[in-house]
Amino acid sequence: MFPSRIWRDSKHRYRLEAGKCTKCGKIVFPYRLICPECGHREFEKVILPDTGKLMTYSVIRVAPSQFTDQAPYAVGIAELENGVKLLAQITDCDVEKIKVGMEIRIEFRRIQTDSHQGVLSYGYKFVPKWY
Amino acid sequence: MVGIVGYGAHMPRHRIKVEEIAKVWGADAPSYKKGLMLREKSVPPPDMDTITLSVEAAKNALKRAGNIDPADIGAIYIGSESHPYAVKPSGTVVAEALGATPDIHCADYEFACKAGSEAMFVCLGLVKSGYIKYGLAIGGDTSQGAPSDALEYSAAAGAAAFIMGTDNLIAEIQETHSFMTDTPDFWRREHEFYPQHAGRFTGEPAYFRTTMGAADAILKKSGMKPRDFAYAVFHQPNGKFPMRVGKMLGFTKEQIEPGWLSPTLGNTYSGASPMGLTSTLDIAKPGDMILMVSYGSGAGSDAFIWKVTDRIDEVRDKAVRTRKLLDENLTYVDYGTYAKFRHKILKNE
């Protein structure tokens, strides 16, 4: 991943920063310039909650080259406590034990490494909520 | 008064048992377990490193700190011997993830296992001087031990974070003392993957002389005796050393046990005594006095005397307790998985 993209995405990837339309209240993540609901152009900054429920998931057994060491792994969509739906990798779990409806927590993890020399990419992943 | 406003810890859920490592190298597990007083250690998965552990520990510290604005954190210092980058501070990523940028001072510290307490010491000083409102000090590591080396049985992962400030304190700093000499008991040269150590020299004179030096001096400065403390936390490279040094100083097992994590956590290096302090604060009562003495090879110790305030009862359960992370929801891995997780297997790029 290019360092410039990591830098551009850091607000939402690092700290779940979203935009809430000041007219209709729709929350957009990542941040947008124009509200897809009402076309308004002003947003207030909101931080997404870090817990939710898994709505659906898929297990990746044949992974892209940068993720082959992690296969099999799962990616899923979770509905957070404020209704926002988010896609992320599910980590720290046995893929055979993942269930739709299970509670998840968002943790800050390493997303990918660009060889031994490249920049490190960080962001959010889901982990099963257990406390 | 200056002290801790918020604290938190984080660690991996994966563990490997001493028997699993000993089996691979034909070593005698019972003698390692007895010699090190250590049964298992934490293992970081590939997507966890010092930066990610630091972020999660710091989030827990922020939860306990209450309604402080991360933008009011004026300094972030992360002590570690396993910073993911050789050049580029871990603190840049951590501060960004917390929302503490851009008006903040940042540096990564390194002093073997006491880099975390260095960060704590400097943050206390900057807050006390009035240069910053809050300082975030983190000690964390994903430490490496060479395959089959004695260190492989203990080198583990974890982090602890402390927000230092002047208001709404959880624990007030009463006294500090640092003790440091040139004692080459453990080192890692540039570009080397695994550290080297000087065998039994790492115990005496390194660990024991240095830890005792700092502890004796701070007790003398404060006019306090071991019986004046509710708890004591020492650096824990294994299970045996902190218990032994505590007893040499006159502390009881009961004073040391709440912060004695190494028998099932391993040595989290820069995170070790700071994590022990988080675990001790988790059960401490208002008015309790806590002695904490770190140790970093090379060699030095930072000693702190903390006085717990009434606010502890209000905040301790605002974030997960350290013992809960240590004892629950564990996944045990075999040596092959551990070797893969810790990048001990060389692959073609």
ipTM of predicted complex: 0.96
User: Does residue B285 surpass a pLDDT of 80?
Assistant: yes
User: Does residue B340 surpass a pLDDT of 80?
Assistant: yes
Assess whether B139 and B228 both reside in one domain.
no
Please give the mean pLDDT across all residues of chain A: 95
Among A15, A120, A122, the residue with its CB nearest the CB of B99 is A15
- Map tokens 């597990």 to a residue: B29
Assess whether B120 and B133 both reside in one domain.
yes
Assess whether B17 and B104 both reside in one domain.
yes
| Whether A108 and B52 lie within 8 Å, measured CB to CB | yes
Q: Are strands A51-60 and A103-113 parallel, antiparallel or unpaired?
A: antiparallel
Mean pLDDT on B65-82: 96
Give per-residue pLDDT as tens, A71-112: 999 999 999 999 999 999 999 999 999 999 999 999 999 999
Show me where the domains of chain A are located: 1-48, 49-131
One-letter identity of residue B265: L
**Which residue of A lies nearest to B325 if distances are taken between CA atoms?**
A131
Sorting pLDDT into bands at 50, 70 and 90, what band is B242?
A: very high
Assess whether B133 and B233 both reside in one domain.
no
The CA distance from B258 to B273, in Å, is 12
Tell me if B177 sits within 8 A of B217, measured CB to CB.
yes
Which one-letter DSSP state was computed for residue A48? P
CATH architecture of the region A49-131: Beta Barrel (2.40)
* Numbered residues of chain B with Cβ closer than 8 Å to any chain A Cβ: 13, 45-49, 51-52, 55-56, 59, 84-85, 93, 96-99, 320, 324, 328-329, 331, 340, 349
B81 is a catalytic site residue: yes
B106 is a catalytic site residue: no
Tell me if A4 sits within 8 A of B86, measured CB to CB.
no
CATH code where residue B107 lies: 3.40.47.10
Among B46, B320, B331, the residue with its CB nearest the CB of A69 is B46
pLDDT at B106: 98
User: Which chain A residues touch B48 with a CB distance below 8 Å?
Assistant: 109-110
Please give the mean pLDDT across all residues of chain B: 97
Among B51, B99, B324, the residue with its CB nearest the CB of A122 is B51
B116 occurs within a structural domain: yes
- Cα B315 to Cα B5, B65, B301, B332: the distances in Å are 10, 8, 29, 32
Assess whether B130 and B177 both reside in one domain.
no
User: Residue B61: CA atoms inside 13 Å, Cβ hemisphere, count?
Assistant: 36
B348 occurs within a structural domain: no
Assess whether B22 and B151 both reside in one domain.
yes
The CA distance from B146 to A19, in Å, is 47
Please tell me the distance in Å from A74's CA to the nearest CA on chain B: 14
B235 is a catalytic site residue: yes
Smallest CA-to-CA distance from B200 within B146, B232, B237 is with B237
Which residue range(s) make up the domain with B34? 3-170+321-341
User: Does residue B349 surpass a pLDDT of 80?
Assistant: no
Sorting pLDDT into bands at 50, 70 and 90, what band is A65?
A: confident
Assess whether B196 and B279 both reside in one domain.
yes
User: Does residue A2 surpass a pLDDT of 90?
Assistant: no
User: Does residue B113 surpass a pLDDT of 90?
Assistant: yes
Please count the residue pairs, one from chain A and one from chain B, whose beta carbons lie less than 8 angstroms apart.
54
Assess whether B177 and B162 both reside in one domain.
no
Among B46, B84, B96, the residue with its CB nearest the CB of A70 is B46
* Lowest mean pLDDT, pick from A1-5, B226-230, B255-259: A1-5
From the candidates B56, B81, B118, B152, give the one annotated as an active-site residue: B81
pLDDT at B241: 97
Mean pLDDT on B219-238: 98
Mean pLDDT on B276-281: 98
Tell me if B145 sits within 8 A of B152, measured CB to CB.
yes
From the candidates B10, B14, B83, B235, give the one annotated as an active-site residue: B235
Sorting pLDDT into bands at 50, 70 and 90, what band is B173?
A: very high
Assess whether B183 and B267 both reside in one domain.
yes
Assess whether B12 and B151 both reside in one domain.
yes
Smallest CA-to-CA distance from A128 within B13, B58, B333 is with B13
B349 occurs within a structural domain: no
The domain total for chain B is 2
pLDDT at B86: 93
Sorting pLDDT into bands at 50, 70 and 90, what band is B313?
A: very high
